[in-house]
Amino acid sequence: MGALEQLPQLAVYGVVSGSIITLGAVGLSLTYSILRFSNFSHGDLMTTGAYMGLGFLWLFQGLLPGRWAPLSFGPALLPALALAMVGNAGLAIVVDRLVFRRLRRAKPVLLLMAAVGVAFVLRNLVLFGAQSDPLYYSRRIQRALVLGGIRIKADQLFVIGVALLAVLALHLFLRYTKTGKAMRAMADNPDLAQVSGINTERVVIWTWALGAALAALAGILSGIENKLITPELGWQTLLPLFAAVILGGIGSPYGAMLGGMTIGLAEEVSTAFISTSYKPAVAFGVLVVMLLVRPQGLLGRR
């Protein structure tokens, strides 16, 4: 099959991986815009979320057995998803208390180094608890559905659907709730937020909770899509996450959605022309071109 005939199929794969990248990138963008540093531990929050999700999945499989064919999982996934999101939010809040809160007024570069340290600690905690061998969300070989000549697995439709719902929910939260508006206000002007009487520490906690919950979701969806997870999962995703955030415009959650989808598509479509092993290079290439051509990003201001 020639490269061009492959394109629609690859575009579908791009949307699937773009959905996962988007969920990670949106959280990274939120923490960037409100806490004002590049959180290098965000990828590893995806990892902790993915492992929590799998742990809860095993726990609930006894209570809620069965499988929703043609999906590779059954009802046990739903409570596992919810609890992993809550658990990961809690983990991020604890990390904030222990590390980042002490550095609230520190220079961004210090926070960045602290985040790299947190990333190592989180990854090694996962390694310590779960060993380095991959763990499986599912070992079942799934037959793809054929829709209009394009092959897509039911799990992949689920990934896209859940990502869409999560992004929509986040949009409604930011647009219409008091806390969501305060988050946008604080991203705009933290000093004025404080002067207005906004409880900025509470906004920070919400930011961590939302970012980590979305990271858990991204990690679990990645486990479902790839069948397996490893302790390196999030660290390996970090480059596409940053590429997506910078592409969309640093600090703009809507830009991160756009950037995530673009990076996912670019990575998958590139495999029609170059070897799959260059996928990370494609994300990096898009990032470099963007920084040269439009450093403020697609939706960034200034």
Partner 1 sequence: MPLLEATGIRSGYGDMEVLHGVDVHLEAGELVTIIGPNGAGKSTLLKTIFGLLKAHAGVVRLAGRDITGTPPHRIVHWGMCYVPQVDNVFPSLTVEENLEMGAFILRGRLAPRLERVYSLFPALAARRRQRVGKMSGGERQMVAMGRALMLDPKVLLLDEPTAALAPNLVEQVFQSILAIKDSGVAILMVEQNARHSLSISDRGYVLVDGRNRCHGTGQQLLQDEEIGRMFLGG
- Site of interaction with partner 1 (CB under 8 A): 178, 181-182, 184-185, 187-189, 191-200, 301
Joined tokens for residue 289: 């071109």
Task: For partner 1, give the closer residue by CB, 140 or 184.
Answer: 184
Q: Are strands 150-152 and 145-147 parallel, antiparallel or unpaired?
A: antiparallel
Task: For partner 1, give the closer residue by CB, 99 or 298.
Answer: 298
Task: For partner 1, give the closer residue by CB, 24 or 180.
Answer: 180
Q: Compute the chain's Rg from CA coordinates.
A: 19
Q: What is the DSSP string of 240-265?
A: HHHHHHHHH-TT-HHHHHHHHHHHHH
Task: For partner 1, give the closer residue by CB, 1 or 195.
Answer: 195
Amino acid occupying residue 85: M
Q: Can you tell me whether residue 214 is helix, strand or coil?
A: helix
Task: For partner 1, give the closer residue by CB, 130 or 185.
Answer: 185
Sequence-ordered list of residues with C-beta below 8 angstroms from that of 173, at least 6 positions apart, any chain: 179, 180, 210
Q: Which residues make beta-bridge pairs with 135?
A: 229
Q: How far is the CB of 181 from partner 1 (least distance, A)?
A: 5
Task: For partner 1, give the closer residue by CB, 180 or 260.
Answer: 180
Q: How far is the CB of 198 from partner 1 (least distance, A)?
A: 5
Q: How far is the CB of 163 from partner 1 (least distance, A)?
A: 24
Q: How far is the CB of 256 from partner 1 (least distance, A)?
A: 15
Q: How far is the CB of 193 from partner 1 (least distance, A)?
A: 7
Q: How far is the CB of 169 from partner 1 (least distance, A)?
A: 19
Task: For partner 1, give the closer residue by CB, 150 or 185.
Answer: 185
Q: How far is the CB of 131 from partner 1 (least distance, A)?
A: 46
Sequence-ordered list of residues with C-beta below 8 angstroms from that of 134, at least 6 positions apart, any chain: 228, 229, 230
Cite the beta strand spans of the chain per DSSP E: 135-136, 145-147, 150-152, 228-229
Q: Are strands 228-229 and 135-136 parallel, antiparallel or unpaired?
A: antiparallel
